[in-house]
Amino acid sequence: MNTDTADSCRRRFCMFIPLAVIAGAALAGYAVYALWNGVLADVLAVKTITYWQALGLLVLAKILFGGFPCGGRRCGGRGRDHLLSKRWESLDPEQRERMREEMRHRFGDWPRPSCGDPVKPAGPEKTPDA
């Protein structure tokens, strides 16, 4: 496949992303509408809602519970993680070990080993007598 064909395929695919987002929001709105009117109206005796009110509830829930993605420094997230990573990399091995010991003292076994890493004992390492 040459470069022009790949670029045109990529452009066509990118055109469908906004449509997919709109379709997903519409489907989620319908799910909220159907569940509210089908379940809550019977169980809790609340008023039924319209489709547009269901979409409004979905947006309200996103604002209250989900937040909004942002790349700025104010939101934390990636920017904060990057700063912490830079700080960790700037530490020398002795400072890193002191930090690990402080974290173990505060939070127990830290950092927790991943699935593939061998589990180290929490106590001091024993050396074989020679």
Residue 124 within any structural domain of the chain: no
For the stretch 73-107, pLDDT in tens is: 455 556 667 788 888 889 899 998 998 888 888 87
Tell me the mean pLDDT in the region 106-115: 66
Domain count, the chain: 2
User: 69-73, 99-103, 113-117: which has the highest mean pLDDT?
Assistant: 99-103
Tell me the mean pLDDT in the region 102-123: 65
Residue 18 within any structural domain of the chain: yes
Cα–Cα distance measured from residue 38 to residue 4, given in angstroms and rounded to the nearest whole number: 51
* Structure-token match 């045109």, residue found: 8
Query: Using CB atoms within 10 A of its CB, is residue 58 exposed (0-12), middle (13-18) or buried (19+)?
Result: middle
Task: Please indicate, yes or no, whether residues 37 and 8 belong to a single structural domain of this protein.
Answer: yes
Region for residue 59 given its phi and psi (left: phi exceeds 0; alpha: psi -120 to 50; beta: otherwise):
alpha
Task: Please indicate, yes or no, whether residues 9 and 37 belong to a single structural domain of this protein.
Answer: yes
For the stretch 36-53, pLDDT in tens is: 999 988 888 889 999 999
Residue 86 within any structural domain of the chain: yes
What does the pLDDT read at residue 27? 94
How much is the mean pLDDT over the chain?
78
Task: Please indicate, yes or no, whether residues 58 and 92 belong to a single structural domain of this protein.
Answer: no
Task: Please indicate, yes or no, whether residues 9 and 38 belong to a single structural domain of this protein.
Answer: yes
Residue 118 within any structural domain of the chain: no
With a threshold of 0.75, does the pTM exceed it? no
For residue 102, what are the domain limits?
A: 78-107
